[in-house]
Structure 1
Amino acid sequence: MKFGICVASRPADLDYVVEAERLGFSHAWMADSQMIWSDVYAMLALAAERTSTIQLGTGVAVAGTRLAPVTAASIATINQLAPGRTFCGIGTGNTAMRIMGHPPLQIAEFDEYLAALRPLLRGEETDFRWRDRTARIVHQMPDHGFVNFDPPPPLYVSAFGPRALDLAAQHGDGLITSAPPDPVAVRALRGAVTERRREHGHAEDRASFPIASLTTIAVLQPGEPVDSPRIKEMVGAFAIAALHYAYEQYAQFGRGPSPHLRDIWDEYVAAVESVPEERRHLRTHLGHNCWVIPEEERFLTAQLIERSCLVGTPSELRSRVDALEAAGLDQLVVLPPLATKEEVIADVARVLIDRTDGVPDPVALRS
């Protein structure tokens, strides 16, 4: 299993990326959401100068806010700075578009976008349609130090539902998602990817199409419950972001809550919808994956944490990670909150990357 970090893009956190590289994390996925974080490509350029081995890429870039040739040139510029260790994650904008009051790209639009982006990432000529006009385009100065398409940055397509998953299998070199940390769910996901890859005429072997899944991880102390104040501080932002996403699915598509949300659902929906509809998009994602706003702390239940995050003792976490890998997962991408991110990745490195026993727990040493 590979372990990556997802970074809420912020220049002050470049040392965090450097530390993740030192600890053995394989990938740094820089988040792209223009109304809440810093510019992702500026962050990647700075990180490229500060690191030497960790893979750097977008986690994920938003198709709705940048044209395909702009995305290709941007990530190829990073590939010029960090040759061979750059990747491109791309999605429809589940957060970035919604916080501007607009839905993510529709599937047909995303399909057209990916069809243009994939050859552009290889420096190849392709059709590009804009404002109802289609023309052939290609980067005209690929060999003069502006960009680098050799090797091409791998394309990871973000997908959650079956239609987006089909696009990932058709156009992508890999999948970035946020599956429940459950071997049953991962096995079903790997089976669906394999079937769709076969239908699109691609290789069926697992090595040709890695699956990465976004989560966060916390190591329990002896006798500690999964909803202790300390664990809530370490995983709460990610768990609450999963609740935000569930609300968006309800608001846009009328989808009801999953069983682990039913006890809090009516109260949570009432809290969100107490804000006038024309301003609700400014409320729904407050604190997104960085912290939990005070009025949402009451929704951070043990059931929500267990469903969205990996929490357990060192031996439990090792067993669960091994089971996820056996089921078909290739990378866990860890997204801790801002306040505890260094502590979280130190624990992950100690328990899951190095897998060293008998190493003092830094939390226990401070207590």
Structure 2
Amino acid sequence: MDFGICVASRPADLDYVVEAEQLGFTHAWMADSQMIWSDVYAMLALVADRTTTMHVGTGVAVAGTRLAPVTAAAMATINELAPGRAFCGIGTGNTAMRIMGHKPLRIAEFDRYLADLRPLLRGEEIDYEWRGHRAPIRHLMPDDGFVRFDPPVPIHVSAFGPRALDLAAKHGDGLITSAPPDPNAIRGLRAAVTERRQEHGRSTERADFPISTLTTVCVLQPGEAIDSDRVKREVGAFAIAALHYTYEQYVQLGREPGRHLHGMWDDYVAAVESVPVERRHLRTHLGHNCWVIPDEERFVTKELIERSCLVGEPAALRERVTELGEAGLDQIVVLPPLEAKERVIRDVSRELIALG
């Protein structure tokens, strides 16, 4: 099992990424959300320069905010800075678009975007349509130190629902998702991906299509409760972000929340919807994966933690990680809150990475 970190892009946290590399983390997924964090490609350039072995990439880039040629040039530049270590995580913008009051890219639009991005990231020529005009495009100076297309930059497509999962199988070199850290969920994902890869005439070998899942981890002390104050401080931000996403799915698609949310759901919806609808997008994702705002601390429940996070004593965590790997998971991407991030990755390194 590989372990990566997802980083809320911020220049002050470069040393944190360097420490993660030293602790054995294999990937740094730098988050892209233009209205809450620093620019992801500026951060990636700095990270590429400060690391030597770690794979560095977007976690994930937002297709709706940049043209495919722009994303391709940006990632090929990172590949020049860190040859063979760059990867491109790409998604529709579940958070980045919504915090501007817009919906993520539609599936048909994302399909076209990925169809353009894949060959562009390999330095190939495509017929590209923009503003109603179609013309052939390619990078004109690929061999002059501006960009690097060899080795190719792998694309990890962000997907949650079945239609996006199909696009990951069709266009991607891997899947980045945020599935419940449960072997049955991972087993179902791996089976679905294999079936869709076969339908698209692509390799069904596991090694050719890694699955990574975003979560966070807390190593319990002997006898510690899963909802202790310390645990809530270390996993609360991620757990609440999962609640934010569930609310967006409820509003946009009418999807009912899972049973683990039933005891709090009406109270949570009332809190969010106390804000006028025209400004609600400025409220929903406050603190996103960085901290829990005071008004939402009461929603960090045992049930929410168990559903979204990996929490347990060391031996139990190691057993669960083994089960996830056997079910088809290749990488656990850890996203701790800002205040506890160093402590979390040190615990993960000591109890999970160092012991294999």
Match of 2:262 in 1: 262
Match of 1:22 in 2: 22
Per the alignment, in what secondary structure is the counterpart of residue 269 of structure 1? helix
Structure 2 counterparts to residues 304-319 of structure 1, below 5 A: 304-319=304-319
Structure 2 unaligned blocks of 5 or more: none
The Cα of 1:53 is off from its aligned counterpart by: 0.4
One-letter code aligned to 1:292: V
For 1:267 and 1:134, locate their aligned partners in 2 and report how far apart those are by CA, in whole Å: 50
Match of 2:173 in 1: 173
The Cα of 1:130 is off from its aligned counterpart by: 1.0
For 1:95 and 1:80, locate their aligned partners in 2 and report how far apart those are by CA, in whole Å: 29
Match of 2:221 in 1: 221
Structure 1 unaligned blocks of 5 or more: 357-367
Match of 2:339 in 1: 339
Structure 2 counterparts to residues 203-352 of structure 1, below 5 A: 203-352=203-352
Match of 1:2 in 2: 2
For residues 44-87 of structure 1, what are the alpha-carbon distances to aligned partners after superposition, in whole Å with 9 as ceiling and x for unaligned? 10111111000000000000000000000001001110001000
For 1:222 and 1:353, locate their aligned partners in 2 and report how far apart those are by CA, in whole Å: 20
For 2:198 and 2:135, locate their aligned partners in 1 and report how far apart those are by CA, in whole Å: 31
For 1:23 and 1:36, locate their aligned partners in 2 and report how far apart those are by CA, in whole Å: 28
One-letter code aligned to 2:314: P
Per the alignment, in what secondary structure is the counterpart of residue 59 of structure 1? strand
For residues 210-253 of structure 1, what are the alpha-carbon distances to aligned partners after superposition, in whole Å with 9 as ceiling and x for unaligned? 00000000000011111100000000000000000000000101
One-letter code aligned to 1:269: V
For 1:127 and 1:341, locate their aligned partners in 2 and report how far apart those are by CA, in whole Å: 44
For 1:2 and 1:61, locate their aligned partners in 2 and report how far apart those are by CA, in whole Å: 21
Per the alignment, in what secondary structure is the counterpart of residue 83 of structure 1? coil
For 2:134 and 2:165, locate their aligned partners in 1 and report how far apart those are by CA, in whole Å: 26
- Structure 1 moving runs of 4+ over 6 Å: none
Match of 1:185 in 2: 185
The Cα of 1:134 is off from its aligned counterpart by: 1.7
For 1:67 and 1:279, locate their aligned partners in 2 and report how far apart those are by CA, in whole Å: 27
For 1:127 and 1:237, locate their aligned partners in 2 and report how far apart those are by CA, in whole Å: 43
One-letter code aligned to 2:150: D
Q: So what's the TM-score if we normalise by structure 2? A: 0.99
For residues 114-157 of structure 1, what are the alpha-carbon distances to aligned partners after superposition, in whole Å with 9 as ceiling and x for unaligned? 00000000001112111122221100000000000010110000
Match of 1:70 in 2: 70
Alignment RMSD (CA, Å): 0.6
Match of 1:361 in 2: none
For residues 289-329 of structure 1, what are the alpha-carbon distances to aligned partners after superposition, in whole Å with 9 as ceiling and x for unaligned? 00000000000000000000000000000000000000000
One-letter code aligned to 1:320: R
Per the alignment, in what secondary structure is the counterpart of residue 58 of structure 1? strand
Percent identity reads: 76
For 1:136 and 1:60, locate their aligned partners in 2 and report how far apart those are by CA, in whole Å: 27
Aligned residues: 356
Match of 1:129 in 2: 129
Per the alignment, in what secondary structure is the counterpart of residue 262 of structure 2? helix
Match of 1:142 in 2: 142
Match of 2:98 in 1: 98
The Cα of 1:25 is off from its aligned counterpart by: 0.3
